[in-house]
Amino acid sequence: EPEVTQTPSHQVTQMGQEVILRCVPISNHLYFYWYRQILGQKVEFLVSFYNNEISEKSEIFDDQFSVERPDGSNFTLKIRSTKLEDSAMYFCASSELATSYEQYFGPGTRLTVT
Amino acid sequence: LAKTTQPISMDSYEGQEVNITCSHNNIATNDYITWYQQFPSQGPRFIIQGYKTKVTNEVASLFIPADRKSSTLSLPRVSLSDTAVYYCLVGETGGFKTIFGAGTRLFVKA
pLDDT above 80: residue A99: no
pLDDT above 60: residue B45: yes
Chain A residues within 8 Å of chain B (Cβ atoms): 4, 31, 33, 35, 42-45, 48, 50, 55-56, 58, 89, 91, 93, 97-108, 110
Largest CA distance in chain A: 40
Which residues does chain A have within 8 Å of residue B89's beta carbon, measured at their own beta carbons? 101
Largest CA distance in chain B: 41
pLDDT of residue B2: 67
**Phi, psi dihedrals of residue A90, rounded to the nearest 5°:** -115, 125
Whole-number Å distance between alpha carbons of B94 and B96: 7
**Across all residues in chain A, what is the average pLDDT?**
93
pLDDT of residue B63: 97
Which residues does chain B have within 8 Å of residue A48's beta carbon, measured at their own beta carbons? 96-98
pLDDT band of residue B102 (cuts 50, 70, 90) is: confident
**Which range, A99-103, B60-64, B90-94, is most confident?**
B60-64
Which residues does chain A have within 8 Å of residue B1's beta carbon, measured at their own beta carbons? none
Average pLDDT over residues B28-33: 87
Residue B84 vs residue B28, higher pLDDT: B84
**Tens digit of each residue's pLDDT (9 = 90 or more) over B56-78:** 999 999 999 999 999 999 999 99
- Of the listed ranges B37-51, B70-84, B86-100, the one predicted with least confidence: B86-100
pLDDT of residue B87: 95
Asked whether B2 and B22 are in contact (CB, 8 A), the reply is no
Q: Which residues pair with B50 in a beta bridge?
A: B33
pLDDT above 90: residue B81: yes
Residue of A nearest to B38 (CA): A43
pLDDT above 80: residue A100: no
